[in-house]
Amino acid sequence: MPTRRFNAPGDAALDTLYEDIAHKDLQPLWELSGLLTPTPSVKAVPYRWSGKELRDLGERAGELVPIDRGGDRRVLSLSNPGLDGAPYATATLWGAVQYLGAGETAPAHRHTPAALRFVLEGEGVWTLVDGDPLHMAAGDLILTPSWTWHEHHNPGDTPVTWFDALDLPLVEALDAVFFEPGDGRTAQGATAERSASERQFGGGPGLLPGGASAPAPAHSPLLRYRWADTDRTLAGQLTEPSSEAARTGHAHIRFADPTNGRDVLPTLRCEMHRYLPGHTAPEQRHTGSVLIAVFHGTGVVVLDGVRHDVAPGDLIAVPSWTSQRVLADGPLDLFTVSDTPVLEALGLYRTEQVSDPIPAQNA
């Protein structure tokens, strides 16, 4: 926070000037510090939430807190200890676990903050996006773009937990949050093996609908990215001898709009990383913040030099300009979501290599 510095005592005219300035709701820049810092002054701290604890607390909420009609979500939001009690994982990103019990339905609504889901385990939930039923199974990425209607249905007999990410803090900072509840009616025909979005845009690599192209929406028209496709792509990179992934032991993909290669949502970038033991990805930092969801494997995520042991289901906040390196015990699959498209669009994306890309050694 800017602070007012001491000015020389006994100068009555100057004192009066400062009083008059304050009285008119003005502040003299020459008395302010902490605004234009040499590097970002980041309030959020690097932090890890345990998957085991998230699962346990979600289950207990499932038993004790029923979902009411009217837009309720059984969601535990990640509240970064550096953010003064705000329910935000970083300055720009909302992260949460959502728990939907057997037979439950979370009713329809829409909002301007964009959302996505990454399923950590289980299957058998359908999220309807503008009425299109998208099946959610472990490892799948499901998009709920800005202002699309969505509701979640669990017609099966087992509860399902997934990771939610939204650009809510960013949209809130821009004073652009709008919300509208649905009419309370539950959609019929709420399941399908393959969504309409996948039937049109998920036919296969490079296969897009022909004919006149409609005006492109600001988000990917493909709303579900299946784990089988993600997994095959990562494995393909690692088994192709000429690839960078094979050389470094670090495969990674960016989930993209199939029609133009852009990020899946205008504000959010999604990636999947597979690190092998002894990989050579360097320690790096960049502007903008990231949330990591650990999908498979164990290892260590080192954030600003502090080691965090990670296991499946763990969620990790990586605030802006935090140095990061990953050490894998075996193949370690990490899903990440970041605000990078925003930083890039505004010319604010910066990255820096913090140390040499020596092979990572697990202590």
Chain positions contacting ligand GTQ, by CB under 6 A = 73, 75, 96, 98, 115, 150, 164, 166
Smaller CB separation from ligand GTQ, 105 or 322: 105
Smaller CB separation from ligand GTQ, 57 or 75: 75
Q: Evaluate whether 325 touches 275 at the Cβ level (below 8 Å).
A: no
Query: CB neighbours (10 Å) of residue 202?
Result: 18
Give the ranges where 24-150 is alpha helix by DSSP (H): 51-64
Q: Measuring CA to CA, which residue among 257, 259, 217 is closest to residue 130?
A: 217
Q: Evaluate whether 238 touches 274 at the Cβ level (below 8 Å).
A: yes
Going through 13-137 in order, the beta strands assigned E by DSSP cover 47-49, 75-77, 94-100, 105-111, 115-121, 123-129, 132-137
Smaller CB separation from ligand GTQ, 166 or 337: 166
Q: How far is the CB of 199 from ligand GTQ (least distance, A)?
A: 24
Q: How far is the CB of 77 from ligand GTQ (least distance, A)?
A: 7
**DSSP state letter for 24:** T
Smaller CB separation from ligand GTQ, 75 or 246: 75
Q: Evaluate whether 142 touches 136 at the Cβ level (below 8 Å).
A: yes
Residue keyed to tokens 């399902």 = 160
- What gap in Å lies between CA 331 and CA 179, rounded to an integer? 41
Smaller CB separation from ligand GTQ, 79 or 287: 79
Smaller CB separation from ligand GTQ, 98 or 154: 98
Q: Evaluate whether 91 touches 319 at the Cβ level (below 8 Å).
A: yes
Q: How far is the CB of 115 from ligand GTQ (least distance, A)?
A: 6
What 3 state SS string does 197-226 have? HHHHHCCCCCCCCCCCCCCCCCCCCCCEEC
Smaller CB separation from ligand GTQ, 153 or 274: 153
Smaller CB separation from ligand GTQ, 72 or 352: 72
Which residues, including other chains, have CB under 8 Å from residue 140's CB and lie 6 or more apart?
A: 117, 118, 119, 224, 225, 226, 227
- What gap in Å lies between CA 332 and CA 361, rounded to an integer? 15
Smaller CB separation from ligand GTQ, 73 or 350: 73
Q: How far is the CB of 339 from ligand GTQ (least distance, A)?
A: 16
- What gap in Å lies between CA 324 and CA 284, rounded to an integer? 5
What residue number has its CB nearest to ligand GTQ? 164
Q: How far is the CB of 56 from ligand GTQ (least distance, A)?
A: 18
